[in-house]
Amino acid sequence: MKEKSARNIIITPATNSRKPRRGNKPGKRNRYAIFFLAPYIAGVLVFWILPILFTFAISFTKWDGFNAMQFIGIENYKHLFLEDGRFFKSLFNTVVIMGLSIPVTLVLALIFAYILSGKALYAKRFLQLGVFLPYIMTPVAVGIIFALLFDQHYGFVNRILMYLHIIQSPLPWLGNEWLARITLAIALIWMYCGYQMILLMSGMSMISEDVYDAARIDGANTRQVFFRITLPLLKGVLVFVVITSLIGGFQLFDEPLLLFNSSLSGKFPIGGPDNAALTMSLFFYNESYTNFNFGYGAAISYMMFVVIALISFVSMKIMDRGDRL
Amino acid sequence: MRIRKGKGNTMKQPMKKYFSAALCLFALSTMLFASACSNTGGADSGGDGAVDVVMWGWGEEWGFAFEAYMEAEAPDVNFEYVAVDGDEYVQKLQAAVSAGTRLPDIAALEMDSRGQLMSLGIFENLESPPYGLDRSEIMDFLIPLCTNSEGQVVGVETQPAPGGLAYRRELAKEYLGTDDPSELESKLQTWDDFIALGKEVKEKSGGKVYMFASIDEAAFILTSQNSQPFVTEDGKSNLTAALKGGFETTKEMYDAGIVDVLGDQTPAWNASLSGGEHIFYACPTWYPFYVIEPNDPEGIGQWGIISPPGGGYNMGGTLFGIPSEAGTEASRLEAWKFIKWLTLSEAGAEWIRDNWDSASSYKPIYSDPGFFEGQVNPYFEMNLPEAFLRISQDVTTRPITKYDTIVVDELMPQGYRDIEAGKSVDEIMAGLEKSFKEQAGDLKG
């Protein structure tokens, strides 16, 4: 009883003690808030919420963008799941390309960040710039460079590999299903390694020197410092890098499009040989803006949203659990 | 005093704010209204009584053609040429239709995307009033290329693109024994002859000289000589009937080692035109000016053109159509007058011959055997329009369908790559049929 009444005494004044302050009356404050937020809310409604709802609505129609929409119920979703093998293939391709590129990029970025953060390193800035430079290169240029490098007959890569007797005959880097995915993954690693390195370096710079000093006084060697101090304290940045890489991976578009459809690569279907590099975004783009199936494209985009949300949620949960452990 | 003044201010402050907000809203709505007004439909006339005619194109020579028409016929029109990137043409047209903004009176339909556009029902049937096109005036092989699935002629070809084979004279003389076009044609009557001669060339040159530079060219010619439609009239896939034969012959050529592996239209392929290791190239009417001469500027008099084994084929081309929702009835009619002048009149045929060194779609003019007399191209040192006119006599073309983009841009290149990868033709066709059904969801089988 005593406890109960004590609890009442604490709670009651707290809730009742909120007196409206001058100029802060809830009604008036809300009016101002609504007034000042209105343009932003209108923008979000018009450019964000409405398109999302409109896209959902047209995913149940057959619409070419020229003629009137035709309501077809769940036909687009049925075709997507049951008849069109490209959906699962594009999902598979996206996951495989991400699986090939993200871990390697992350490990390389971590190594570069650790090495290039070293204080006594000669030409540190120059080397940092060298690793970062590919990131600021336009995907068009990357597509052209890699199409040239990996050309089966005239590409530099095959020539080097043959010169070193690693291969006997030129490999069809852009013409074979798995080699095409590997080529794309190499291009992505090359492009994004520098960006991830910068993020990790900024994370490393936030770790206090005191921690390192303490570790060294305790007799920790370089390997131990890296695995016991640097890596655990970088977790926040690593989570950010992994999540953004996963989301970026599902939005992979420019690189495969330009690698297999540049003037240097010769003619391929939009998704490369046997659609080996047809990512989900590319699939959506091709259906919507090349074949003018806006209804079907909308259904693809909704499924993309579901997949991205699901994977982001799962990966955040896994990392969150790791944090608690 | 201070307090009262202050009170007075607190009374006026919200009013000022509301007034400012109202003013902003008014300015914003005025701007929106003004911009909406400027986009609705566009002006029908420039205020001088003349009709506005708008053309969207990616080749400025079309604008010059309209200027020539204005000079010749002096129509009472204001002409506006809007340059649109060829790759974004369909998207821009689609955006204009969706937004309800002014569509061009003269729209250009490029070969790859015309099937999709023609199937949408957004173009005027040029055979119906007030246009009154007479299809018997159009060269026969062009009619399927201008006709939609309902049998309506919705455009006219600006520059017909019948294709032959361009050949390097010195290589033909060295390896085939002659550079005379008629002798070559008699040596190459069938593709079997072509393959047999190709094997001899390979042997003579030690495998250094090829008949074609890329597999894409060979396959495109061979599949285009077959006029079987990609889809049957009852909406079923007819891909195997349309492509299989062409792929089989291409594979035979590739396996015989007489076709090089350069990527079509890549820098390596472009360089090969002056490289002296490839005898034949596909060559429609636009190749001499846009492909051969720019890539082999030193090759004056080095090129000849013949009809390929099995006859001519069509490769590319652009037609002019009139969107039904474009401008006004008057502007659409003026657009038609220009199209008719350029593509279906003697004056237009003469202009095309003199300015583009080419032939127009207007069939009656070609009953005059001397129409192209004396028309010698200084680079090729031959009468190009006459050569192509002769080639066009046996060209057959397949009907245009909305599936053309899928087949030509997606499936056929996959087929070429599969041939290079060593797959059997049956295997290739099975894969393409499967992909076709996936991509064209409304096929009935």
Measured between CB atoms, does B443 come within 8 Å of chain A? no
CA–CA separation, B14 vs A16, rounded Å?
A: 31
Q: For residues A17 and A114, which has the higher predicted lDDT (pLDDT)?
A: A114
Beta-carbon separation of B405 and A290 below 8 A: yes
Chain B environment of A85 (Cβ under 8 Å): 434, 438
What mean pLDDT do residues B70-98 have? 88
Q: Domains (ranges, CATH) in chain B?
A: 51-160+317-367 (3.40.190.10), 162-314+382-439 (3.40.190.10)
Query: Would you state the structure tokens that stand for residue A185, as one six-digit string?
Result: 């993954």
Q: Once rounded to an integer, what is the mean pLDDT over residues A160-165?
A: 94
What integer is the mean pLDDT of A49-53?
A: 93
Q: Out of A65, A66, A265, whose CB is closest to B263?
A: A265
Out of A26-35, A189-198, B359-368, give the one with best mean pLDDT. A189-198
- Chain B environment of A263 (Cβ under 8 Å): 265-267
Q: How far apart are CA B171 and CA A57, in angstroms?
A: 62
CB B175 within 8 A of CB B202: no
Interchain proximity B417–A65, CB inside 8 Å: no
What gap in Å lies between CA A176 and CA A276, rounded to an integer?
8
Structure token digits, residue A121: 């390193």
pLDDT value at residue A10: 44
**How far apart (Å, rounded) are the C-alpha atoms in residues B237 and B223?**
16
pLDDT in tens, B385-427: 999 999 999 899 999 999 999 999 999 999 999 998 899 999 9
CA B224 – CA A280 distance, rounded (Å): 33
Scan residues 333-392 of B and list those with Cβ closer than 8 Å to A. Answer: none
Q: Name the residue among B264, B421, B438 with its Cβ closest to that of A266.
A: B264
CB contact under 8 A, B94 and A35: no
Instruction: Give chain B positions within 8 Å (CB) of A292.
Output: 90, 94, 116
Contact flag B90-A292 (C-beta cutoff 8 Å):
yes
Q: Is the pLDDT of residue B239 over 90?
A: yes
pLDDT of residue B15: 54
Residues paired with residue B55 on neighbouring β-strands, in sequence order: B81, B106
The structural domains of chain A, ordered by start, are 19-71 (no CATH), 77-324 (1.10.3720.10)
Helix (H, G, I), strand (E, B) or coil at B103: coil
Give the pLDDT confidence score for residue B361 in this predicted structure: 94
For A207, A232, A267, the CA distances from A225, given in Å and listed in that order, are 12, 10, 51
Residue to substitute from A46, A66, A77, A265, interface B, most B β-carbons within 10 A = A66
Residue-wise pLDDT for A92-124, tens only, equals: 999 999 999 999 999 999 999 988 887 767 778
pLDDT per residue as tens digits for the range B244-287: 999 999 999 999 999 998 888 888 899 999 999 999 999 999 99
In the sheet that B106-110 helps form, which strands lie side by side, from edge to edge?
B77-83, B51-57, B106-110, B318-321, B156-157
> What's the pLDDT tens digit per position in A273-317?
889 999 999 999 999 988 889 999 999 999 988 988 888 788 778
Mean pLDDT of chain B: 88
Query: Which residue from B minimizes the CA distance to A296?
Result: B441
| pLDDT 10s digits, B163-172 | 999 999 999 9
**Cβ <8 Å between A86 and B438:** yes
Q: How far apart are CA B417 and CA B423, in angstroms?
A: 9
The pLDDT assigned to A31 comes to: 82
Whether A267 and B416 lie within 8 Å, measured CB to CB = yes
Which of A85, A86, A263 is nearest residue B265 as measured by Cβ atoms? A263
Rounded CA separation A275/A268 (Å) = 9
User: With 50 as the cut, is the pLDDT of residue B65 above it?
Assistant: yes
B18: enclosing H helix or E strand: helix B2-39
Pick A153's closest partner by Cβ from B98, B120, B261.
Answer: B261
Contact residues on chain A for B120, CB-CB shorter than 8 A: 64, 66-67
CB A198 within 8 A of CB A132: yes
Confidence bin at A53 (pLDDT 50/70/90): very high
User: A264–B266: do the CB atoms touch at under 8 Å?
Assistant: yes
Task: Give mean pLDDT, residues B173-196.
Answer: 95
Lowest-confidence region among A248-257, B43-52, B321-330: B43-52
B11 touches chain A (CB under 8 A): no
Contact A172 B266 (CB under 8 A): no
- Are B235 and B444 spatial neighbours (Cβ–Cβ below 8 Å)? yes
Q: What are phi and psi of B168, to 5 degrees?
A: -85, 125
CA distance B439 to B167: 38
Q: Degrees (nearest 5) of the Cα angle B130, B136, B140?
A: 130
CB < 8 Å to A275, chain B: 435
Q: At what angle do helices A139-149 and A254-261 cross, to 10 degrees?
A: 50
Instruction: Answer whether B98 touches A (CB < 8 Å).
Output: yes
A78 Cα to chain B: minimum distance (Å): 11
User: What is the pLDDT, as a whole number, of residue B113?
Assistant: 86
Q: What's the pLDDT score for residue A195?
A: 95
**Contact between A269 and B121 using a beta-carbon 8 Å cutoff:** no
Distances, alpha carbon A289 to alpha carbons A66, A262, B94, B114, B284, in Å = 12, 18, 10, 15, 29
Question: What kind and span of H or E run contains B284?
Answer: strand B278-284
- What three-state secondary structure class fits B444? coil
Question: Which of B90, B120, B437 comes nearest A67 by C-beta?
Answer: B120
Residue B71: both structure tokens together? 């000079």
Whole-angstrom distance, CA of residue A200 vs CA of residue A189: 15
Identify the three-state secondary structure at position B402.
coil
Nearest CA to CA, how far is B113 from chain A (Å)? 9
A contact test, residue of B439, B442, B443, B444 with most A CBs within 10 A: B439
- A319, with CB counted inside 10 A (0-12, 13-18, 19+), is middle
Predicted complex ipTM exceeds 0.85: no
In terms of phi and psi (left: phi > 0; alpha: psi -120 to 50; beta: otherwise), the region of B11 is alpha
Residues 6+ positions from B394 with CB-CB distance below 8 Å: B307, B311, B312
Query: Chain A to chain B, count of Cβ pairs less than 8 Å apart?
Result: 86
**Residue among B153, B151, B154 at smallest CA distance from B108:** B154
> Which residues of chain B are within 8 Å of residue A34 when distances are taken between CB atoms?
none
User: A324 pLDDT band (50/70/90 cuts)?
Assistant: low
| Amino acid code (one letter) for B291 | V
Please tell me if residue B296 touches chain A, with a CB cutoff of 8 Å.
no
Enter the tokens of residue B100.
């309800």
Give the residue with greater pLDDT, B316 vs A120.
Answer: B316
At A325, the pLDDT band (50, 70, 90 cuts) reads: very low
Tokens 């190009």 label which residue?
B384
pLDDT tens, B107-160? 999 998 899 889 888 999 999 999 999 999 999 999 999 999 899 999 999 989
Tokens of B405: 């983009």
Does residue B10 register a pLDDT over 70? Answer: no
Instruction: Kindly tell me if the per-residue pLDDT of B223 is higher than 90.
Output: yes
State the pLDDT at residue A239. Answer: 87
Q: φ, ψ for residue B228 (rounded to 5)?
A: -60, 135
Q: How confident is residue A260, by pLDDT bands cut at 50, 70 and 90?
A: confident
